[in-house]
Structures are given as C-alpha cells and as structure tokens.
Amino acid sequence: MKITFSYIKLMMPILLLMVSCGQEKGKEHMEKEKVKLMTLDPGHFHAALVQKTMYPQVDSTIHVFAPEGPEVQDFLSKIEQYNARPDNPTAWEVKTYFGDDYLSKMISQKPGNVMVVAGKNSKKIDYILEAVKAGLNVYADKPLVINPEGFEKLKKAFKIANENDVLIYDIMTERFESTTMMQKQFSLLTNVFGELVVGTADKPAISKESVHHFFKYVSGKPLVRPSWFFDVNEEGEGIVDVTTHLVDLVQWEAFPGQVIDSSQVEMIAARRWPTELNLEEFQKVTGMESYPEYLRNNVTDQKLNIYCNGEMTYKIKGKHAKVSVIWNYVAPEGTGDTHYSIMRGTKADLIIRQGAAENYKPMLYIESALGEDFEKTLNLAVQNEIAAQFPGTSIVKVDEGKWRIEIPQEFKIGHEAHFGQVTENYLKYLELGELPSWEVPNMITKYYTTIEAYKMAKAE
C-alpha cells in the first residue's frame, strides 16, 4: 500500500485519538495502582503512627471518616506535627468527614482502597466486615477481636475477603524489634540453638512477658488516653489485647513459615487480674475530672479496677508456651515498657531481658552448658550467618556459659518506627495481591488462642 501525504493527513486525527486513549488508559491504570488510605474512627494513637512515614506507592491524600470528638482531633494534630517537623517532614493532605454516619459514608463514597482502623476494639470487627463486603482492603491495629462473638465474625470476614480478593492484615510491630528478630535468627541455627524443646507447663519451651504503662510519652508528648480505653467492654481485657503480639511472636518464632491450625492449640491454664488507678492517676492519663458513669461499676474506694492483666499457658504443635501481660500506671524514671522472652533449645537458651542490668533496654543473651567448643561455634555463626543480615553484630562473654549479643544501633529504631516497617510490608503484599500462605490461617489461630484463654480465665 502506498502511503501518501493525503493518507497521513486523513489518518492523523485517528492516530492522535488512539495515542490519547492509550495515555488515558495508562494514566487510569497508574491511578488504580496507587494505594489510597481511608482512616476510620481513629481512636488510638497507632492510627497516626502509620502516617509518621511517607510511602512512594501511597497517595499523599488521607481520607478520614469519624465522629466528632477529641480522639479524631488528636489524630489530626499528630499528622500536623509530622508534617511540620523540621527533619524529614511528611506531606499528608487530610480530607475529613465528621458525622454519626461516618462508616456508611466511607462505604458509599469509597475515596480509597485501604481502610486503616485503630480505635475502639469493640467496634473493629464490624468495621472490618463492612469494609471487606464493600471490596476494601483492611489494615488494622490489634486486636481484631476481643470476645467469642467477635471471633466468629472474624472467620466470616476472612471468608468474604477471600471471595472479594481483598486483604485483611493486623499490625504486628513486634516482629521488627531488633532483639526479637535476632532471637528468631539464632533459633534457626541448629548448630547453636539445636531445636526447641517440648517443655512443660511449669517450664515452657517458649515464654513471653510484656509490661506496659498507662502514662507514657508518644512522639515526644504525654499520651492522653480516652476514658473508654479503661472500659474492658470497649478496649478488651488484657488477655485478649496486648497478648495478641505475644501469641503472634510465639507462632512466628517457634514455627516460622508454617501453617498452624487452631486444632493444634490446647489451652492449659489462663488467669486475669486487675490494675488499680486512683482518681488522680486517672485524671493525669485522661484529662478528665471524674470517672465517667460507664466505669462506676468498676470503682471501689475511689479506685478504678481494670482487668488489663492476663496470663495463659498452652500447648502449640506439641510445644509448651506461656504468655503474660502486665499493666502498671507509670514506669520508673528512665524506663518504659519492657519485654522478657525465652526460647529453650536443646543446645542453648535464647533470652531477651530488659531490666536494670540492661539499663531497661532489651538485650539478647545466649546461655549454654556445652563449653568452649560452643563458644567457637557461636563466634562462627555470628561472623557468617548473623552478620549477613545484621552487619556489625558481635558477642560479649559476660559469664561462664553466658554471652550477650551486641546489636548495632542502626537496627534499634524504636517502637514508633516499626509502624512504617509493617506498613511497607503490607504494601508489598497489596502489590502482590496476596499474603504469605501461612498468614491468614495463623491469624485465625492467633485469635482463637487469645479467645480460648479469655473464656478459660473468665470461667475461673
């Protein structure tokens, strides 16, 4: 066919239209791929910590749907603080909708494709259900459920999410704490750790204890907690709240990459007990002058009793595990939340301590009775396998059969920064369109474990 000037002139509008359509489709495709966050009813400061970092694949506009009140204002003030900080400021643009119909408004408008939720735990599972029904991905602070009824809804939510090809993910920040990551790495080295022992109820194979405090500083400012945080009907009891992290770590460290079914969990013992806050302490943490009416039934002699402490002993895939969480009013000067963990191996024990001897900073110790040959093996393991992932790591002998692992400061980024790391992980899963094969079944098993402990503790 002979191409003439007249033919080109005739075809030019069609060619330009085709290019234009192609560009529009490409632009539309790029826009579809962009992650757009919708923050729903941000009643917990963890919602803001997700936005403490910018992410290249996330649209800079945040859509907030919430009832009016101090909680959402605290969230917005933290975003403003991050945007205005002198070092590495964020650049979030916030669009808000305030009203009692905030959930239905988010579902009907759907200006984003990911719902971020961190607030009243009593409402969270209903938010999640509505989101996945509407074809929205979910990124939620723990715990997703706080009672048996919620657990049944959670199983339903995962089924609907799978049918609608969307992801539900809970924010497990503690997987990124440096000593925990190192503990897991050493447990994978059979020449150092051996294998996890079976243990007993009195001496479990793996134990984790977490101590938290009601009064603390977040992003450099005293944290003001909403009064409903002290209502276990809203926040959940301690045995189903912070324990979520610890049960998750038991699964993640002891059985990495393995699918764990709830039938492989056997609850042995569980208990709960309260922490008391006097009125002055309550005022300092919440900013309120008196106990609200809905907490009055838990007040005795002007002291508020909060069932925020819990402990469970159970078997998982044949191994004994123990998890406990304790809440105090405030940490001693110079300290903060603390963590203790032990994994008992056939060749060595891996122990995280965070007491006075460690200046209240988490440190990993390795203890073994195998003598000088073990020390040589340990040195080689650090130089080869460990240094490959954590360059600069070294060991210090502190006693006979006891060594401290020196982790470079660059890996100790702090709890608040872990939210950015978990979010980056979640964004990778969104891009792939799926979670690792073990994540969903293990999330279900994790909440099965906490709810079984709750039921047993309440029955005592």
Dist. CA 138–CA 37, nearest whole Å: 10
**Same domain, residue pair 297 and 337:** yes
Mean pLDDT of the residues in the chain: 91
331 or 119, greater pLDDT:
119
Assigned domain for 10 exists: yes
* CATH code for the domain in which residue 247 is found: 3.30.360.10
Residue percentage of the chain with pLDDT more than 90: 83
Q: Is residue 5 domain-shared with residue 139, that is, in the same domain?
A: no
Q: Hey, what's the torsion of the CAs at 250, 427, 138, 43, to 10 degrees?
A: 80
pLDDT higher than 60, residue 287: yes
- Mean per-residue pLDDT for 161-183? 97
CB 239 within 8 A of CB 453: yes
In a domain, 90, yes or no: yes
| Same domain (yes/no): 446, 340 | yes
What's the 3-state SS for the chain?
CCCCHHHHHHHHHHHHHHHHHHHHHHHHHHHHHCECEEEECCCCCHHHHHHHCCCCCECCEEEEEECCCHHHHHHHHHHHHHHHCCCCCCCCEEEEEECCCHHHHHHHHCCCCEEEECCCHHHHHHHHHHHHHCCCEEEECCCCCCCHHHHHHHHHHHHHHHHCCCCEEECCHHHHCHHHHHHHHHHCCCCCCCCECCECCCCECEEEEEEEEEECEECCEECCCCHHHHCHHHHCCHHHCCHHHHHHHHHHHHCCCCCCCHHHEEEEEEEEEEEEEEHHHHHHHHCCCCCCHHHHHHEECCEEEEEEEEEEEEEECCEEEEEEEEEEEECCCCCCCEEEEEEEECCCEEEEECCHHHCCCCEEEEECCCCHHHHHHHHHHHHHHHHHHCCCCEEEEEECCEEEEECCHHHCCCHHHHHHHHHHHHHHHHHHCCCCCCHHHHHHHHHHHHHHHHHHHHHC
With cut-offs at 50, 70 and 90, classify the pLDDT of residue 359: confident
Q: Is a pLDDT exceeding 80 seen at residue 4?
A: no
Residue 283 phi, psi dihedral angles, 5° rounding: -60, -40
Task: Tell me the C-alpha distance between 446 and 138, whole Å.
Answer: 18
Proportion of the chain above pLDDT 70, given as a percent: 93
Is residue 213 very low, low, confident or very high in pLDDT (cuts 50, 70, 90)? very high
Burial of 358 (0-12, 13-18, 19+ CB in 10 A): middle
- Residues 84, 5 share a domain: no
442 burial type by CB count under 10 A (0-12 exposed, 13-18 middle, 19+ buried): buried
pTM for the whole structure: 0.89
**Predicted pLDDT of residue 32:** 53
pLDDT given for residue 26 in this prediction: 36
Model pLDDT, residue 333: 72
Tokens of 387: 């240094």
Cis before 13 (ω within 30): no
As for how many domains the chain has, the answer is 3
Structural domain range at position 25: 1-31
Specify if 130 maps to a domain: yes
Domain check: are 214 and 242 in the same one? yes
Q: Please check whether residues 125 and 233 belong to one and the same domain.
A: no
Q: CB of 384 within 8 A of CB of 372? A: no
Q: What is the pLDDT of residues 255-277, one digit of tens each?
A: 999 999 999 999 999 999 999 99
Which of 170, 190, 224 is the endpoint of a domain?
170
Asked if the structure places residue 430 within a domain, the reply is no
Answer whether residue 422 is part of any domain. Answer: no
Pair 332, 258: CB distance under 8 Å: no
Q: Do 385 and 250 belong together in one domain?
A: yes
pLDDT at residue 18 greater than cutoff 80: no
